[in-house]
Amino acid sequence: MLTEKELLAIDTRQGTNNQHSYSNGNCLPYTAVPFGMNHFVVQTTDQKGSWYFNPHDRVFQGFRLTHQPSPWMGDFSSLLMTPIAGTVNNLELFTLQSSYRPEEACYAPHYLKLKQERYQITSELVPTTYGAMVKSHYAYGENAGFVLTSQGPYNLTIDQENNRVSGFIINYSDVEDPEFKMYIDFSFNHQIDLAASGIDTEKLVAGTQMTGENLRLVLRFNQCELLETRLATSFISLKQAQLNRLAIAQSSFSQLKKQGADIWLDYLNRIEVEDDNQEAIKTFYGSLYRTCLFPQKFYETDEMGQDYHYDTLSRKVKPGKLYTNNGFWDTYKTVYPLYSLIAADDYQDMLEGFLNSYRNGGYLPKWLSPDERGLMPGTLIDAVIADAAVKGIGKELMPELLEAMIKAATVQSDNGHYGRRGTNQYNEIGYVSSEYGESVNHTQDYAYSDFCIAQVATTEGQADLAKDYFERSHNYRHIFDPSVGFMRAKDSAGKFVEEFHPFNWGRDYTEGSAWQNSFATYHDLADLIELHGGQEAFFEKLIELCNTYPEFKDLGYGFEIHEMSEMAAVNFGQVAMSNQPSFHLPYLFNYVNQPLYTQLLLKNIKDNLFNPGWDGYPGDEDNGSMAAWYVFSSLGFYPVCPGAGEYTIGLPSFQRVTLHLSNGKELEIVAENKKPTHHFVSQVRQGEAVVNPLAISHKSLMSGEPLHFDMSLVPPRPQAEVVLPYSLS
């Protein structure tokens, strides 16, 4: 079981060494509480856009309050906090910044600490759900300062009598409300020196009421060796920001640090790992931490204890929960199935929030940041809902969620941000034509969503509706071309598009080629296998997938995107583990009863593409999705088809794991005879019974009956009579 000392050893810089053209995670080193409304990050540069942190930089510009879920999405409502001392020429970041020693700094999930060498200031930060506390030790005590910087409009008030700064700032990369505000409320334990404080324009302008563009505010404190700053934010009102700050006003720094540690330890200790491989354990817990960052709370609680949120569409405050910063195209595959095992209560709260997004906008969300951004194919929140439904999570929400799913499947929005693209065409001809970009992925994703609708309808006792959508879920057949053995775009007249090459990225495919994007029939892989000519032919196709050189062509983009570079950099053929479309590919050998290939491939991927360092991931980590892939693949099973209530068996990484399940039971997973040389599973047992070596149900896992994997040096013979993983057909 992790302790607070071990929590401090989790380095949040895992996967943070990135640039625009190449991703080792595209992570930021977030210090936050799980699912907190605000994250805090050290900013090392303001010259690289969204890539404002790099672990190799030795520059500290400030602690950034951030809501950036991905560099490709950009930030919103960000604010930079920079302790300073002595005289500075102006408040531009280049003038203010200081060197620091990254190797001596502490980057932990609940705690930041570093020393600014220029100023000899040592600062510590602990987060809360709606704010933070910063403690800065000034070596010389005189002319201590604290600078606030943000882009965009601002309106602030300095209250010298109460040592407070409050007001609002406006900045975002995209949002429905052009006047979308974040309210802020700061309090300090020393009196603000008004004569030496103020806004920096061409010269320092003192005052207590400040309005303008592009905030650069310096606050000065005389004879201050220890400055304690408490802050909170709100998207609702200044009054709510003050209420959020008052919630931590009487807490000491050490108390808030302990509270944050306790929250993190509660989540992280839901999976206890025992093994001799400490490097793998570090990778595991660094990844598990990432799964608890998103989605972020976008709701607050009033004095009466009622939840409410700001709706950017109507520009009104409304009751109920709301969450933001999540791309369901990424996270449905792994993150929410993980919550179903160890965080079902949070999962249900999130479903309530997503339902409020539907009530506010008329469609279920696809990519929230802070509101609907309309990115990526499909409406994959359908899988999040279906997985919950078949597992009995959020039962009372399902009737309205089913209504919302059906609306997206049947009613095309006039706004391309919302619902399915090409809905009318898909419903008329059974596929999305090449007139729409990424049509192959749209078609497969809609077919899978139709399956998800059918699954929810089944749990709601609507058999006729389920039958209709089960039939629709085979629409991917329209775009399978047996002459080439791939999913392929068609025009609206039913003719396959020309210029086909399996290495062509983009245009008809999302962030990949036909190789990565032709196996997304998660709900009916048995049918896909038959389309290929049977198990032996599909088995040969998978071998070809793995052994084909990682070549790519940039037909759809006209330039090399970072996912291409990441696939080409490693020796895993066309299995591009740098991106979500490939996540399930290693597990497909199970569907043709060749689990040894799955196990060997997983062993190589986990050992070679993941680590706890700054280059820790093989591509964009994306809101916990890649981290959760590693978590599942380390446990020894994986949800190939969310919504089916089943996991495909893989290869466990650890000698012993204990899952503290959401139903209060404990699941012990034991890898018997696990050694560095043992790469294969010879047998799977639950309790005393030998079980299907290819798949296991969610219900079986939730029973808490111990799960044993018997490991072996050489592979056993495949069983002739075995139950294959779930398929609709």
467 contacts 444 by C-beta, under 8 angstroms? no
For position 576, what pLDDT does the model report?
98
For position 226, what pLDDT does the model report?
97
User: What is the rounded distance in angstroms from the CA atom of residue 93 to the CA atom of residue 78?
Assistant: 15
Q: How confident is the model at residue 325 (pLDDT cuts 50, 70, 90)?
A: very high
Return the percentage of the chain with pLDDT > 90, whole number.
95
Query: Assign residue 249 a region: left if phi > 0, alpha if psi is -120 to 50, beta otherwise?
Result: alpha
pLDDT tens-digit readout, 223-276: 899 999 999 999 999 999 999 999 999 999 999 999 999 999 999 999 999 999
DSSP string, 212-268: EEEEEEEEEETT-SEEEEEEEEESS-HHHHHHHHHTTTT--HHHHHHHHHHHHHHHH
Does the fold of domain 290-699 match that of domain 29-268? no
Print the SS3 string covering 581-599: HHCCHHHHHHHHCCHHHHH
For position 386, what pLDDT does the model report?
98
Return the percentage of the chain with pLDDT > 70, whole number.
100
- Please identify, in words, the CATH class of the domain defined by 29-268: mainly beta
The structure tokens listed for 123 are 């600062």
Residue spans of the domains in the chain: they are 29-268, 290-699
For position 141, what pLDDT does the model report?
78
pLDDT tens-digit readout, 530-565: 999 999 999 999 999 999 999 999 989 999 999 999
The residues with which 172 forms a beta bridge, in sequence order, are 76
Would you say residue 567 has pLDDT above 90? Answer: yes
In terms of CATH, what superfamily is 290-699?
A: alpha-1,2-mannosidases domains (1.20.1610.10)
Would you say residue 201 has pLDDT above 80? Answer: no
31 contacts 632 by C-beta, under 8 angstroms? no
pLDDT tens-digit readout, 638-691: 999 999 999 999 999 999 999 999 999 999 999 999 999 999 999 999 988 999
For position 152, what pLDDT does the model report?
97
pLDDT tens-digit readout, 86-128: 988 889 999 999 999 999 999 999 999 999 999 999 999 999 9
Residues 6+ apart with CB under 8 A from 47: none
The structure tokens listed for 334 are 């792994």
**Identity (one letter) of the amino acid at 13?**
R
The residues with which 232 forms a beta bridge, in sequence order, are 131, 185
Report DSSP state, residue 615: T
Would you say residue 721 has pLDDT above 90? Answer: no
Give which of 590, 601, 602, 585 is closest to 684, Cα–Cα: 590
pLDDT tens-digit readout, 9-34: 999 999 999 999 999 999 999 999 99
> 155 — phi, psi (to 5°)?
-150, 110
Would you say residue 206 has pLDDT above 90? Answer: no
Report DSSP state, residue 715: P
Would you say residue 591 has pLDDT above 90? Answer: yes
pLDDT tens-digit readout, 501-538: 999 999 999 999 999 999 999 999 999 999 999 999 99
Buried b (16+ CB within 10 A) or exposed e, 390-407: bbbbbeebbeebbebbeb
Long-range contacts for 391-396 (Cβ within 8 Å, ≥24 apart)?
Answer: 391/340, 391/344, 391/645, 391/698, 393/340, 393/344, 393/347, 393/348, 393/351, 394/347, 394/348, 394/351, 394/352
User: What is the rounded distance in angstroms from the CA atom of residue 512 to the CA atom of residue 378?
Assistant: 16
Q: Could you tell me how far CA 195 lies from the centroid of its own chain?
A: 45
The structure tokens listed for 262 are 């306790």
Per the model's pLDDT, the better-predicted residue between 89 and 724 turns out to be 724
